[in-house]
Structure 1
Amino acid sequence: MQPPTQVLHQRLDLDGVEVFYREAGPPDAPVLLLPHGYPCSSYQFRNLMPLLADRWRLLAPDFPACGYSATPYDFTYDFDGYADFLARFVGHLGVERFALYLHDFGSQIGLRQAISRPQRITALIVQNGDIYEDQLGPRYATLKQFFANPSEEALGTLAEAVSLAGYREEFLNEVEPAVAARIAPDLWQLHWALTTPLRKRIALQVIAGLRENLAWFPHYQAYLRQHQPPTLILWGPRDGYMPEGAARAYLRDLPDAELHLFEDGGHWLLETHLQQAAVLIRDFLGRTLSDVQQG
């Protein structure tokens, strides 16, 4: 018998696409769905999952063209395509209701899933995921230049970020050296090793798609105002893309949300502040999901 907190590394065929995912916890327990951000994969949740798997079922898929999932040519590589992928993924596994962990671009993908099927969402955990345009940090400067003038030259500048050096910069972001030392170089080395020329073009396409995604920000906010899902906000303000104001902005639409700032933390809290975050997540899920019955 496997230990109750053992993480399993699974594969499934989803409409002809091989999907890799990590799974932990009892199959009949309340579900926490863990869509990843950029430039990452389910690998970012590898340390969190065992800390929760005694009471909850954790599911962390690699999106197509990310991690160990396949890179199909006929997949729609945009936020709608990834949101549809999430819906089909949980459907394939027979999951009817779930809490969502929203991080990085996974926040927008997850919220599109929530908007389309609000009855499925039991709770939200938001960790450095931006949906408020007026609070975008200074590291958005290059993206904003592209948004204003989506020329080939501007696109070429964005392409420079899809590199080993660019990945390293994404992971280290604005944290101080003592905190950066907790972030394993395996992160950027692994994801660069998995970045084929095709995946690099796809990543650039998704980054460029952030321009259209801005129009969705009011829709994400409207979902929160209308449905008021129980929400835990964990935030590292040393984030050049999503500073403290981006976290506090959620309280405009979710005044009852629980906000916790990790003052020396940045974009990748599960690398630098794992134990503290896990304690807060366990407490939150224990109060909100214990009685949820999965269909």
Structure 2
Amino acid sequence: MTQYHQADFDTDFGGTFPFKPNFTNAPGFAMHYVDEGPHGDETVLCLHGEPTWGYLFRHLIPVLSEDYRVVVPDHMGFGKSATPRDRSYWLQDHIDNLERFVLALDLQEITLVMHDFGGPVGMGLAARHPDRIRRLISTNGPTPFGQPDLADRLTANSVTSPWFQWILKAEKGGSLETVLGQLGFNILSTLKLNGFENNELITETWLAAYGSRFASPADCLGAIGWAKGFATGAHRFEIPDVAAVRAIREKPALAIWGEADRTLQAEHFMPLFTELFPSAPVHRLPGVGHYCLEDAPDVVGRLITDFIRRN
């Protein structure tokens, strides 16, 4: 079993993540982000989830940055961003951080690309600043936006999702923080439990990219927070006002969903998207799991590029 150290993380992982690191203290900690491509009027803002970081978008960044500014922040406690010990890691904290980040960089005409928990974080930003959003793209990322049945959908999904079943059981039994506090050791089982189908991805470099960020329990506060917030009900979804709902409904939107996703199952979460964007295109990818950007990066990249060019 590989033992990681934080120093192992400060690399480009064998040239697989060859992007210049950028940092801002606008959210109250050192937030890392990738910023590639021409700084024109538009920005593609890519938001990761649990327990990943900007590495998830490594195939998408060079494709889109030929024509657009591509900004990929790492949430607090993930990737190359800091993990402050005096902060809470609930959904609302990540929305606050993203808002401060976007305002500090004055990002406008934003195309949101959202995966996993990046969905509710991105939709939180959209609720607060709909005027800054140009397009919305879900890649196995839920799009909660004030729908009244969200709680019911979360509950129904947790009944059959192995990841959410484990979270609830582990929190009840007192082992959640202990297990996720050793995420550097069990990153592969965690990723597999969430679901990816392409086992050819599993190399030492790939494992180091995802695992070495979590070298000690103190490094795992972000991953623990996402899970614990669900189990304890501490996450608060942003509720948009009527004007924000009206504005966002008019934006071009796209959904890409790996149908083999066992963590966020399409039957429970796709209606959040289709109710908000009833005429938007939806691409369901057979045999592709929760991490669609890992399982099918070429397909996802082509769909996103074509969508942006058409809209």
CA contact (8 A) 2:78 2:222 kept: no
TM-score by length of 1: 0.81
Q: Distance in 1 between matches of 2:27 and 2:286?
A: 43
1:237 aligns with 2:262: no
TM-score by length of 2: 0.78
* Corresponding residue number in structure 1 for 2:150: none
Aligned equivalent of 2:229, options 203, 206, 209: 209
For structure 2, the residue ranges without an aligned partner over 5 or more in a row are 1-17, 145-152
Q: How far off its partner does 1:49 sit?
A: 0.4
1:272 aligns with 2:292: no
CA contact (8 A) 1:127 1:233 kept: yes
Q: How far off its partner does 1:213 sit?
A: 6.2
Aligned equivalent of 2:138, options 126, 134, 151: 126
For structure 1, the residue ranges without an aligned partner over 5 or more in a row are 1-5, 289-295
Q: Distance in 2 between matches of 1:246 and 1:125?
A: 18
1:49 aligns with 2:73: no
Aligned-pair Cα RMSD in Å: 2.8
> Structure 2 vs 1, CA of residues 75 and 175 (structure 1 numbering), >3 Å: closer, same or farther?
closer
DSSP 3-state at the match of 2:302 = helix
1:172 aligns with 2:187: no
Q: Which amino acid aligns with 2:257?
A: W
CA contact (8 A) 1:126 1:234 kept: yes
CA contact (8 A) 2:42 2:108 kept: no
Q: How far off its partner does 1:278 sit?
A: 1.0
Aligned equivalent of 2:201, options 168, 174, 182: 182
Aligned equivalent of 1:160, options 179, 184, 196: 179
1:141 aligns with 2:165: yes
Aligned equivalent of 2:112, options 80, 100, 113: 100
Identical amino acids, percent of aligned pairs: 24
Q: Distance in 1 between matches of 2:223 and 2:196?
A: 24
Q: Distance in 1 between matches of 2:196 and 2:23?
A: 35
CA contact (8 A) 1:225 1:253 kept: no
> Structure 2 vs 1, CA of residues 7 and 198 (structure 1 numbering), >3 Å: closer, same or farther?
closer
> Structure 2 vs 1, CA of residues 285 and 246 (structure 1 numbering), >3 Å: closer, same or farther?
farther
Q: How many residue pairs are counted as aligned between the two chains?
A: 275
- Per-residue deviation, residues 229-262 of structure 1 (Å, max 9, x unmatched): 3211111111211233245322233211211111
> Structure 2 vs 1, CA of residues 71 and 158 (structure 1 numbering), >3 Å: closer, same or farther?
closer
> Structure 2 vs 1, CA of residues 77 and 265 (structure 1 numbering), >3 Å: closer, same or farther?
same
Q: 1 or 2 for the larger relative contact order (CA 8 Å, sep ≥6)?
A: 2
